[in-house]
Structure 1
């Protein structure tokens, strides 16, 4: 890593885009992804977060197509790659594009990871191995929800990238992290003004996450009830974890995270098409206009 690399808080800016399609490795899509990355940079987004279980090599098309955009994994599951393999990939990408790649790590979920066991201890051991391989703490972030992992984000990483959270969670996370570490929550946006349609689109997406105890337990800690996390989520829960409505409402919801203590908000546009690898470039343009 370049010794002169700017602090992560400065390079990611206030807003970024979270998208699973940006990590696609189909050679036929490489040009499309490069064009999308270049446009995101032009639109003023400071970071692109490779959604789902992503890897450092998948950042290369975006980094090669841009000059200032920070690209991060959100997240790389610690169960999918050995720490030594992850470290080697980090160093390869960072050598080609110094200071522009950030390794986002997380423990995934018991239902999704075959070898899931003692996740906190496994994450600590993974960070120990990254330290031994000289992956700098200031270029890695953790997908932290609970207090212990947020403390780990503070002590062993550059900060936290919590997924599927509320401004109230952000405020609690900031208290644990303190002032200096990066706090960059993900937040979902539905650019739809009709409440019934917006909530239906959101509920289709949220239903899958509500089968994963890591998320439902976090919602319960935040004061939601068992009824809120059933049936795809109550309107109360939907309205807390998605921004929808007109431009003023969407902007205000995003700014709630900043007011609560977020340095950066990773925005995931939800379109309702069901295409998980979609690159919603028209919606990104609309969102950039809202934020400007």
Structure 2
């Protein structure tokens, strides 16, 4: 499945209250030439139904769940739903899977052993009467063991809140072939204070989640840099802000480090779909 080099990662493509507007936005993004549209797992819900709306809206872009929690969606449901959507829309749905955190596992009545849990889930997808093909699923991985598993048992990996240095390290673990598609938050705003405020408002909740904070610590950031919503250094490292040239430089840094695709999340303080930012960032203008 060819995702191209850039895609749009958009919670608005699940959360916007008007499904007709989401359908229209999918068509618009497809026409702009994006290789993939990514939707987050959020709190569960009908993620494949939301993916189907996007599949119907466009004709070319792949739709990727980035990512659904294995604790909130059974492998049986995902295999059945994926097979139906593949029959109706071709090979355009990439099923992104994540292990979430210990709290998610406990709520589901499970034990948080990420590698074992993911292996078991992938085994179930393989054993199903209509298996999810290896190249139509990927794994969220922020550590070397999950990254290795992702390269071995899926199309590749989709790391969240990472720097180009992380991308280079992940490529070394994966080897040359698997998909490496980092998430990249962006703010189309050249005013430093305003752009960093927009970025910090989005980033702050994730810094309170242990698995994301631990990932950033492993990337070389310190506790004091993560405190109080994140220092300017952290913001600048994991969020690309500024004009189109500045954002392109960050995308290029990931690609030069070994990424095959970069999923751009346009952060905005405005309500609704960030269509203006999507248009500015669109591949034909890049």
Same fold at TM > 0.5: yes
1:89 lines up with 2:86 in the alignment: no
Q: Per-residue CA shift, 1:38-78, capped at 9, x if unaligned?
A: 11111111100012436222111111121111001011110
Q: 1:173 aligns with which of 158, 166, 170?
A: 170
User: How far is 1:118 from its partner?
Assistant: 1.6
Q: Secondary structure at the match of 1:229?
A: helix
Partners in 1 of 2:101 and 2:197 — Cα distance? 25
User: How far is 1:96 from its partner?
Assistant: 0.7
Question: What does residue 5 of structure 1 align with?
Answer: none
Q: 1:124 aligns with which of 119, 123, 135?
A: 119
Question: 5+ residue gaps in structure 2?
Answer: none
Where do residues 59-208 of structure 1 align in structure 2 (5 Å cutoff)?
59-112=51-104, 114-115=107-108, 117-133=112-128, 134-208=131-205
Query: Is the Cα contact below 8 Å between 1:170 and 1:261 reproduced in 2?
Result: yes
Query: Is the Cα contact below 8 Å between 1:25 and 1:58 reproduced in 2?
Result: no
Q: Per-residue CA shift, 1:140-169, capped at 9, x if unaligned?
A: 001111001101111100000111111111
Query: Is the Cα contact below 8 Å between 1:251 and 1:290 reproduced in 2?
Result: no
Question: What does residue 3 of structure 1 align with?
Answer: none
Partners in 1 of 2:169 and 2:28 — Cα distance? 34
Query: Is the Cα contact below 8 Å between 1:185 and 1:264 reproduced in 2?
Result: yes
Query: Is the Cα contact below 8 Å between 2:71 and 2:104 reproduced in 1?
Result: no
Where do residues 212-227 of structure 1 align in structure 2 (5 Å cutoff)?
212-227=209-224
Question: What does residue 4 of structure 1 align with?
Answer: none
Query: Is the Cα contact below 8 Å between 1:24 and 1:58 reproduced in 2?
Result: no
The alignment's C-alpha RMSD in Å is 1.6
1:282 lines up with 2:276 in the alignment: yes
Partners in 2 of 1:71 and 1:136 — Cα distance? 15
Partners in 2 of 1:290 and 1:221 — Cα distance? 36
Query: Is the Cα contact below 8 Å between 1:18 and 1:49 reproduced in 2?
Result: yes
TM-score, length of structure 1 as denominator length: 0.91
User: How far is 1:245 from its partner?
Assistant: 1.2
Partners in 1 of 2:82 and 2:15 — Cα distance? 18
Q: Per-residue CA shift, 1:196-255, capped at 9, x if unaligned?
A: 111111111111000111111111111111111111011111001101112221211221
Partners in 1 of 2:258 and 2:96 — Cα distance? 20
Q: 2:4 aligns with which of 13, 16, 26?
A: 13
Question: 5+ residue gaps in structure 1?
Answer: 1-7
Question: What does residue 56 of structure 1 align with?
Answer: 48
User: How far is 1:109 from its partner?
Assistant: 2.4
Change beyond 3 A, Cα 1:96–1:290 = closer
